[in-house]
């Protein structure tokens, strides 16, 4: 039997592990064990994803909660180490680039348990981003590196990763998107906010570089005021963003529809029906590419350049004037469908499960 421990800690992880848990469960001789670190723990950021995506209940919940990067990473490691010693898994599978990803990868590597990293090789080349450090260190200790696109292979080879460890499998987030796209589109969630399909902008902001800087956040809000004059704006605000707005007593633009985070199906529906998406999220760049919806990334860089070269994404930075100019260009043009990167076909999870089974000797 092959015992595989799958780690999930935060909202993006849940979307990625949903198809993987299903694929692993279908491999004869494989025992998948789901561990929820509790990095995201409230109903809107955790529970709703397990319900909507039919993810099995975690075998273990570590309950680490929020905190600084160092404190959160340390708490995950302290809680995960005895679990490894208790279960003795054959593999630990981590996904993405959150603190739980790095913490569990480091702990497993120190316990000589091989690590497989799903969504490996992505690089923004900006080490002011905590996620960039998590990505680099996780890849460095992993024995299997499952990459979503070709440029990730180049990045890993540049860092000295053995080619035999690298496997191009596609984008696992697209597996989930394709599975639930029809259901999500049928919801027409935009109508519940008084919006018409194809006639609103959807905004997400949560990166510390954007929301922890009062001057930058105020500038982005002023940009949204100008956008409001052209197009209704819906802003499902991450808890981190809401906390900053409240702490600084920021006055929101009149008419801006600000709401709490929404579940996966509703957010997928909102993306699919939007005329334009503005975001600093990596996952949203990928999802809008798959949906063919124009996306403006409010950062100076992206670890997902394939969404620009193939898809519908433009990296426009954080200067309000530059963003507004890009908005005008998008609104004046036919969005077009864009192209899908190779292997973004909804079959990534079975590819990963097959490789793990082969390596583990149960295929």
Catalytic residues: 206
Instruction: Look at the alpha carbons of 147, 148, 151, 152 in this order and tell me if their dihedral is positive or negative.
Output: negative
Residue 340 DSSP label:
P
- Of 296, 282, 357, 303, the closest CA to residue 329 belongs to 296
Cα–Cα distance for residue pair 188/175, rounded to 1 Å:
21
Cα–Cα distance for residue pair 71/286, rounded to 1 Å:
30
CA distances from 4 to 29, 137, 301 (A): 11, 21, 34
Cα–Cα distance for residue pair 50/62, rounded to 1 Å:
16
Cα–Cα distance for residue pair 25/19, rounded to 1 Å:
10
Structure tokens at 12: 């993006």
Structure tokens at 142: 């992993």
Q: What are phi and psi of 274, to 5 degrees?
A: -75, 150
Three-point CA angle 273, 49, 195, nearest 5°: 25
Q: Centre a 10 Å sphere on the Cβ of residue 17 and count the other Cβ atoms it contains.
A: 30
Residue 85 burial (C-beta neighbours within 10 Å; 0-12, 13-18, 19+): exposed
- Could you tell me how many helices (H) and strands (E) the chain has, helices first? 15, 13
Structure tokens at 100: 């739980």
- Asked if 203 contacts 279 with a C-beta cutoff of 8 angstroms, the reply is yes
H/E segment holding residue 104? helix 99-110
- Asked if 5 contacts 107 with a C-beta cutoff of 8 angstroms, the reply is no
């Amino acid at each position: 039997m092959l015992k595989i421990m799958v780690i999930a800690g935060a909202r993006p992880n849940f979307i990625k592990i949903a198809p993987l848990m299903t694929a692993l469960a279908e491999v004869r001789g494989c025992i998948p064990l789901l561990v929820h670190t509790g990095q995201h723990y409230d109903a809107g950021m955790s529970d709703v994803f397990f319900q909507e995506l039919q993810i099995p209940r975690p075998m273990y919940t570590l309950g680490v909660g929020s905190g600084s990067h160092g404190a959160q990473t340390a708490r995950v490691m302290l809680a995960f180490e005895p679990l490894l010693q208790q279960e003795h898994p054959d593999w630990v599978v981590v996904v993405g680039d959150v603190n739980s990803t790095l913490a569990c990868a480091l702990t497993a590597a120190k316990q000589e348990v091989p690590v497989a990293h799903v969504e490996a090789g992505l690089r923004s080349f900006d080490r002011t981003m905590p996620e960039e450090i998590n990505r680099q260190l996780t890849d460095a200790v992993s024995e299997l590196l499952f990459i979503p696109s070709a440029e990730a292979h180049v990045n890993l080879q540049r860092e000295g990763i053995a080619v035999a460890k690298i496997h191009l499998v596609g984008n696992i987030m697209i597996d989930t998107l394709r599975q639930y796209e029809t259901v999500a589109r049928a919801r027409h969630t935009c109508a519940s906010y008084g919006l018409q399909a194809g006639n609103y902008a959807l905004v997400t902001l949560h990166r510390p570089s954007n929301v922890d800087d009062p001057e930058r956040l105020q500038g982005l809000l002023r940009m949204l005021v100008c956008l409001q004059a052209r197009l209704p704006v819906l802003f499902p605000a991450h808890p981190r963003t809401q906390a900053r707005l409240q702490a600084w007593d920021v006055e929101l633009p009149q008419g801006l529809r600000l709401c709490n985070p929404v579940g996966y199906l509703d957010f997928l529906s909102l993306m699919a029906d939007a005329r334009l998406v503005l975001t600093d999220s990596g996952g949203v760049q990928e999802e809008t590419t798959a949906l063919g919806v124009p996306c403006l990334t409010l950062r100076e860089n992206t670890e997902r350049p394939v969404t620009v070269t193939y898809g519908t994404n433009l990296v426009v930075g954080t200067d309000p004037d530059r963003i507004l100019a890009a908005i005008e260009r998008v609104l004046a043009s036919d969005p077009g469908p864009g192209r899908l990167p190779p292997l973004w076909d909804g079959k990534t999870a079975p590819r990963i499960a097959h490789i793990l089974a082969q390596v583990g000797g149960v295929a």
